[in-house]
Structure 1
Amino acid sequence: MFRIVVLCTLFVIVHSQVTSVSQCVVNPADLPIHQYVHGCLTPPCLLPQGQDIVVDVVFRAPHTIRRMRTLAKALITIFGSTTEINYPLGNNEVTCNFLTNTYCPVLAGEVVQYTLKMFIETWFPADFPVTVEFRVVDDKEDAIWCIRVPISVIASTAARENKINSTAIAED
């Protein structure tokens, strides 16, 4: 009985905040059961430079999965032409290390909770709209799920303060 109460509570908490996303175009795959980009319900998500974007994802394993990798691709459109840029996730690419309710191997049909993190580099241009596709693949490179999220990187607090200070000094 206690287990059912815990699972129901977890279900309500997880489903209380959902970020609107769309299916991937570059690498089409199923959408997960649930996704929430921290601090963003309706894209474009405003993400500060020098911080992690954190995405909580719930998905059902389509088959037994021994290893998973998370891949990110930024899609930048300039003058009507879209450029795809693979965005390295470093250690965050190892999906199995960030499962929150289970561990690998994941069994077929198992509902998995995962926390994805991607660092927004300070060199990434601020106030520039970008679409990011996050995709999780198994050890055979078959897509397990994929989400497409419009974002806009905003200047970090330190960068904004430097800009304000530079402007004040220039005006003196």
Structure 2
Amino acid sequence: MEVKVLVLISLGLLLSLAEAQQEHPATSVKKCSGSKPFPLEVRVHNCVTPPCQIVKGTTQKFEIDFAVDKYITQLTTLVKATTLGIITVPYELPADVAAVCPNLQYGAYCPLYPTEDVSYLFTFPIGEYPEIGVKIEIYLVDQDNEIATCFVCDIKVVKGNGGNTVYELDYLN
């Protein structure tokens, strides 16, 4: 009886995940430098091929599917932003936004166990920044300050008029 219930629950979770992936197709993101663990899949809402146009003053949703290779009790999101190809700064997140465990999807929760794969909904607040291209690195860091997964995504911050106007800086003139 218990096995049947577990199979039905697992099947339901897989169907929910498949529906979400159809609604938001995978986004082409890049690996971080070094041998940091890469997500199974990333879905940036409304973006398949970066640079993703992100409206300033809004929030952008990222769905990050990843597997863990150790027992994890806590995960925190860290973001670094690089502009002009040379200036890299940490992008400060509010504590409730940086907390991964409360934002796991499809019934997942912490602690996470080795070989478990989960989906995390990261709601990324985009400040009132100039309309420029930015490379963002998103890290999920565990309780031991080790990286559980990491990826890089190019974005362009755009005005809130539906994203039709993109301003790029021209440094040659």
Same fold (TM over 0.5): yes
Q: Which has the greater radius of gyration?
A: 1
How far apart in 2 are the matches of 1:52 and 1:151?
A: 13
Post-superposition CA distance 1:72-114 (Å, at most 9, x none): 000112xxx5111100111211111211131111111111111
| 1:41 aligned partner, one-letter code | V
Alpha-carbon separation, structure 1, partners of 2:9 and 2:51: 37
For 1:29-58, what per-residue CA distance to the aligned partner results, in whole angstroms no more than 9, with x for missing partners?
121111100110000000001111110011
How many percent of aligned residue pairs carry the same amino acid?
A: 25
- Counterpart in 2 of 1:54? 61
Post-superposition offset of 1:157: 3.3
Corresponding position: 1:108 with 2:114: yes
Residues 1:139 and 2:124 aligned together: no
- The Cα of 1:5 is off from its aligned counterpart by 3.6
**Which residue number in structure 1 is paired with residue 16 of structure 2?**
10
The residue matched to 2:149 in structure 1 has which SS? Answer: strand
Deviation at 1:14, TM superposition (A): 4.1
> 2:155: which partner in 1?
151
More helix by share: 1
Structure 1 consecutive aligned stretches of length 4 or more whose deviation exceeds 3 Å: 1-5
What is the total number of aligned residue pairs between the two structures? 153
Equivalence for 2:98 = 93
Cα offset for 1:9?
1.8
Q: Structure 2 regions of 5+ residues with no counterpart?
A: 1-6, 165-173
Partners of 2:155 and 2:148 lie apart in 1 by: 23
Given residue 117 of structure 1, which amino acid in structure 2 is its aligned partner? T
Report the secondary structure of 1:12's partner residue. Answer: helix
Partner of 1:72: 79
Q: CA deviation at 1:28?
A: 5.1
The RMSD of aligned alpha carbons is 2.0
1:143 counterpart letter in structure 2 = I
Q: Report the TM-score when normalising by structure 1.
A: 0.81
Distance in structure 2 (CA, Å) of the matches to 1:102 and 1:71 = 21
Higher mean C-alpha displacement, 53-62 vs 10-19: 10-19
Q: Equivalents in 1 of 2:57, 2:35: separation in Å?
A: 29
Measured after TM superposition, the shift of residue 4 of structure 1 is 4.9
Equivalent residue, structure 2, for 1:35: 42
Provide the rounded CA distance (Å) in 1 between the counterparts of 2:59 and 2:53. Answer: 12
Structure 1 residue runs of 5 or longer lacking an equivalent are 161-172
CA–CA distance in structure 1, aligned partners of residues 140 and 108 of structure 2: 16
Following superposition, the deviation at residue 155 of structure 1 comes to 0.9
